[in-house]
Amino acid sequence: MKSKTFIILLALCAVLGLLTYFISGSGKQTAKTADTASDVFLSELPVNDITSISIKDKENTLELEKGESVWEVKSSFGYPADFGKIAEFAKKLKDCKVGRSFEATEDMRLRLALYSPDEQNVKELKDENKGTLVTLKNKENKVLADIIIGNAREAASGSGGHYMMNAGGNTVYLVDKDFKFMDKKSSDWIRTDLLDVKAEDVEEVICKDRKNDTVLYTLKRPEKGKNPEFVHPPEGKKMIPSKINNVFSALGSFKIDGVADPAMTAADTGTENICLIYRMFDGTEYTACPGSASKEDAEKFYFRASASYTEPPSEEKTAEDAETAPEEGKAEEGESKPTVVLNDNADKADKADKTEEKADTGDKAEDKKEEEKPDPAKLKADAEELNQKISPWTYMIPKWKAERLISDPEEFFEKPEEEADNENEAPPMMLPQ
C-alpha cells in the first residue's frame, strides 16, 4: 500500500473516531437518550385503582384517602377533598413522557434534589437536596407507584420538564410535565366551596347575640326586588346602604381557607355568641356564626354555618289575615258606612268586561305561578342534606370575609361630623409678662 493512501485512510479513521466520540459522548458520560421521546414514565399506572395518595416533602405531609362516598383530606381531619384536583393530578402523573434517562449517581441526586425527604444516611445531604415523595396505593394498601419528584429542568438546559425517579431505583428520568407549583399543604386540597347564597333571594337578616338572647339588628326587604332596609333605625342617623348590601351578599360564592381541629369547642373558636340568620323568600334559612381570629394567623378567622327550612305561609293564609285585619277608615259598629251607587249602565258593562278579562289573565298567571312555585319537600330535603355536610365543621375564613358579617349595628350609620374645636388647634402662644 502506498504511503499516501495509508495516510488518507488514517485521516478517515480519525474523523470517524471523532464523530463517534461526539455522538456517543465521552467514556465518563452516563446520560443516554430514551428509546423514544414518547415513552410514558408510569405507563402501567392503574389510575382507577388508586385509593390513597401521600405527598411528602421536607416541610409538609399531605394524605388523601378515598372514603365510603368521597375523597377526604386525611391530614385535614378527614374533610372532603377536591376530587377534580385529585383526578387532574393522577392524570398528570400518568401522562408524563420521558425525554431522557440516565444513571442516578449520588452527585446527580444531590444536584437534582432526588433524595427522599426521609433520607438520613447520606453524609452531605441537606434540605435543598431532598425532593417530594409521592406514594400511590390501592384499597389493599399495595403500592402502585412510589416516586421522588426533584428539581425542575433549568431554563438554560432546555424548555420545561421535571426530574424524577422511582424511590429505591437507580435511574433518573426527565419528563415533559412541570411540577414546580405542586400543592403540598393539606389546606390546598380541601373542597373550598361552602355556600352560594344569592343576595336577591335573601328576605331578611337577623343578627343575634345568643349569649344574652337579644336581637342586635334586623335588615329586611319590603318585598322581593326592593332594596333591603334597616328595621327601626335610630333617629337622626344617616344609613350607609353599601354596608347593608355587603351583609346581604356576604354568603355569595362563599369559599373557605381551611378547617379547624374538630376537638376545638365553640368557646375556643369564639363562635358561640354572634350569629347572622339569613332568611330566604322560599323558606330556606342559613345561620352564619363568625368567630375570633386564629392564634396562629391573625388574618384567618373561625366560622361556623348551618342550614334549615321552614315553609313560608301560603298566599291564601296571607290573604285571610289581610281580610280579618281592620281596614283603614272602616266604620265602627253602629255607624253608617257611605256607599257609592252606580247608575250608568255603560260603567256596569265596562266593569263586567274588565272582571272577565281579569279572571282570564288571573288564571294564566296563577298557572304560571304554580309551575314556578318551589316544592317545599325538596327544599326541606336539600336544606337537611346541606346541614349534614356543613354544620359539624368549624372553618377558617379570611379576615375580610369575617368583617362583612357585621355584628355592631353602629357600623351601618355614618358617624356625625366632628365639630371644630380648640382641641384640634395648636394652643395660642402666650407672651411672657
Q: Is the pLDDT of residue 138 over 80?
A: yes
User: For residue 415, what pLDDT is reported?
Assistant: 87
Classify strands 300-309 and 229-230 as parallel, antiparallel or unpaired.
unpaired
In a 13 Å sphere around the CA of 321, the CA atoms on its Cβ side amount to 6
Q: Is the pLDDT of residue 72 over 90?
A: yes
DSSP-derived 3-state class of residue 89: helix
For the chain, how are helix, strand and coil distributed in percent, rounded to 5? Answer: 30, 25, 40
Identity of residue 158: G
SS (HEC) of 233-255:
CCCCCCECHHHHHHHHCCCCCEE
Q: Which residues contact 210 (CB under 8 A, 6 or more apart)?
A: 272, 273, 274, 275
For 68, counting Cβ atoms within 10 Å of its Cβ (0-12 exposed, 13-18 middle, 19+ buried), the class is exposed
Query: CB of 258 within 8 A of CB of 76?
Result: yes
β-pairing verdict for 193-195 and 132-137: unpaired
Is 319 or 272 the better-scoring residue by pLDDT?
272
Higher pLDDT, 381 or 340: 381
Report the C-alpha gap between 346 and 352 in whole angstroms.
10
The candidate with the shortest Cα–Cα distance to 402, out of 314, 264, 267, 297, is: 297
Residue 424: is its pLDDT beyond 70? no
- Cell readout for 341 is 251607587
DSSP state for residue 292 in the 8-state scheme: E
Give the separation between CA 116 and CA 131, rounded to whole angstroms.
6
Rounded CA-CA distance 147/92 in Å is 14
118 three-state secondary structure: coil
- In one-letter notation, the amino acid at residue 428 is P
Query: What confidence score (pLDDT) does residue 313 get?
Result: 81
Q: 30 forms bridges with which residues in the sheet?
A: none
Which pLDDT belongs to residue 402?
A: 97
pLDDT band per the 50, 70, 90 thresholds, residue 55 = very high
How confident is the model at residue 423, as a pLDDT?
A: 44
Show the cell assigned to 397: 375564613
Which residues are CB-neighbours of 77 under 8 A, at least 6 positions away? 259, 261, 262
Average pLDDT of 217-244?
95
With beta carbons less than 8 A apart as the criterion, state whether 172 and 102 touch: yes
pLDDT over threshold 70, residue 107: yes
pTM of the predicted structure, to 2 decimals: 0.74
